[in-house]
Amino acid sequence: MNAFRQALLDYNLADLGAAGGPFTWSDAHTKERLDRVVGSLKWQGTFGFSRVVNLPPSRSNHVPMLLEVRTEQIVHHRGRRRFRFEEMWCSHESFTQVVEEAWAVPQNGSPIVQVCRKIKDTGKTLLDWDITTFNSRREELDSVRCRLDLLLQKPFDSGDQAEKLQLSRRLSELTSIDETYWCQRSQAIWLKDGDRNSKFFHRRASNRKQKNKIKGLFDDNGVWQTSSNGIEDVVMKYFQQVYASQALDVRA
């Protein structure tokens, strides 16, 4: 341990700390903070908005640690939810009944209009059903993780081991549903069924979203625009020029 501390001093590395509980590892006998994230002062100055978070416990004895690397504060804007068919719906025993009942509702208009309205109303019904059915499972997943986290932070008690094992089994069941959710978004169909790695799917989905995001555009003056209004102005001016009518030079 002294050699490790000396290595940190030699390379000017400091513990970045962590949000969350004080322990990162436990077994049937004790709890400790074994895992840490370190960085140099230069790194901390460059990525000043970064932070380390101790995540809720997983199936491992070690608590997952997330390093959020940021150079500036990020503000998220959530848009209106679009309809997306979820594969996890098919695993629920009520799914077929929900679809059949929604589709059976009579509609007015021509046959094609009726079909369009049935599709639209069935989609709305599924979204409402998803909120009432699967949101409760997501809340239960958070609750199970929170309870496991509380057991980890408590002083050691051998009587907590049975509850920890029961919660771990339930966490595994709920995680399977969560993995299906992120697998669909990751578009990583090559990974074998049964491989449990929802973090991988989450990272793939996040990377794809980040890759498709327009981070900035050069305007007519060669200035790099990164704000929403600046990017919008560049796009608008470009297409206005593309679709602007031009007089033809007709010479006899």
Q: Where are the domains of the chain?
A: 2-68, 87-186
Handedness of CA 22, 25, 29, 30 (dihedral sign): negative
Other Cβ atoms less than 10 A from the Cβ of 207: the count is 11
- CA gap 166, 171 in Å, rounded: 9
Q: Going residue by residue through the chain, which has 252 residues, state the pLDDT in tens, using 9 for 90 and above.
A: 678 778 888 888 888 888 777 788 887 788 888 888 888 878 888 887 788 888 877 777 888 888 888 877 665 555 556 788 888 888 788 899 999 999 999 999 888 888 989 999 999 999 888 888 877 777 778 888 888 888 877 777 777 778 888 888 888 877 777 777 777 666 544 444 444 555 555 665 666 666 566 777 888 888 888 888 888 888 888 888 877 655 555 554
Question: How crowded is the C-beta side of 175, counted as CA atoms within 13 Å?
Answer: 21
CB-count exposure of residue 18 (10 Å: 0-12, 13-18, 19+): buried
Q: Which class for 9: exposed (0-12), middle (13-18), buried (19 or more C-beta within 10 A)?
A: exposed
Find, among 51, 28, 26, the residue nearest to 153 by Cα: 26
24 phi, psi to nearest 5 deg: -125, 0
